[in-house]
Amino acid sequence: MKVRRFATRFGARMSSGALARVCCIRQRRRSAALHDASRGLKIALFFFASLAARQSQANLELIASHAEAFVFSGNRREIEVVLHNDSESEVLSHVRMRLYQATSATLAPFGEAQEWKNVRILPGQKIIEHVTIDFPSVRSLTAFQVRWLADGDREIGRTSVNVVPTNVLSQVTVLVSNKTVRLIGTEGVLKEALKRGGVKFEESDSIAGLSGGIAFIGAGVDPDEIKTSLKRMKHPMTALWFQHFASAMEAVPNLYFVQCGQARIAVADARLVNDLGNSAPAQINLLRCIRAAQDPGILKLTRSKESQR
Residues 186 and 253 in one domain: yes
88-135 confidence digits (pLDDT tens): 899 999 999 999 998 878 889 999 999 999 999 999 999 999 999 999
209-238 confidence digits (pLDDT tens): 777 779 999 988 888 888 888 777 777 888
pLDDT score of 103: 82
CA distance 156 to 94: 12
* 4 part of a folded domain: no
* 72 part of a folded domain: yes
Res. 138: pLDDT tops 90: yes
Residues 46 and 137 in one domain: no
3-state secondary structure of 44: helix
CA distance 287 to 279: 13
Domain assignment of residue 226, given as a range: 168-299
Residues 194 and 222 in one domain: yes
pLDDT score of 306: 42
Residues 206 and 112 in one domain: no
Q: Residue 203 gets which letter from DSSP?
A: E
Contact 162, 156 (CB under 8 A): no
Residues 159 and 186 in one domain: no
The total number of structural domains in the chain stands at 3
147-184 confidence digits (pLDDT tens): 999 988 899 999 999 999 999 999 999 999 989 999 99
Residues 129 and 203 in one domain: no
pLDDT score of 12: 47
* 307 part of a folded domain: no
CATH number at residue 247: 3.40.50
* 157 part of a folded domain: yes
130-143 mean pLDDT: 95
CA distance 129 to 81: 5
Residues 66 and 160 in one domain: yes
Residues 237 and 150 in one domain: no
Res. 297: pLDDT tops 50: yes
pLDDT score of 58: 54
CATH number at residue 77: 2.60.40.10
pLDDT score of 222: 85
pLDDT score of 229: 82
* 230 part of a folded domain: yes
Residues 91 and 160 in one domain: yes
* 218 part of a folded domain: yes
CB count, 10 Å around CB of 149? 19
246-291 confidence digits (pLDDT tens): 665 554 578 888 888 778 889 999 999 999 999 999 999 999 999 9
181-205 confidence digits (pLDDT tens): 999 999 889 999 999 999 999 998 8
Residues 182 and 86 in one domain: no
34-76 confidence digits (pLDDT tens): 556 556 555 444 444 444 444 444 589 999 888 889 999 999 9
Residues 209 and 236 in one domain: yes
133-143 mean pLDDT: 95
15-24 mean pLDDT: 55
Could you give the C-alpha distances from 57 to 84, 152, 257, in angstroms and in order?
Answer: 13, 11, 52
pLDDT score of 130: 95
Residues 174 and 293 in one domain: yes
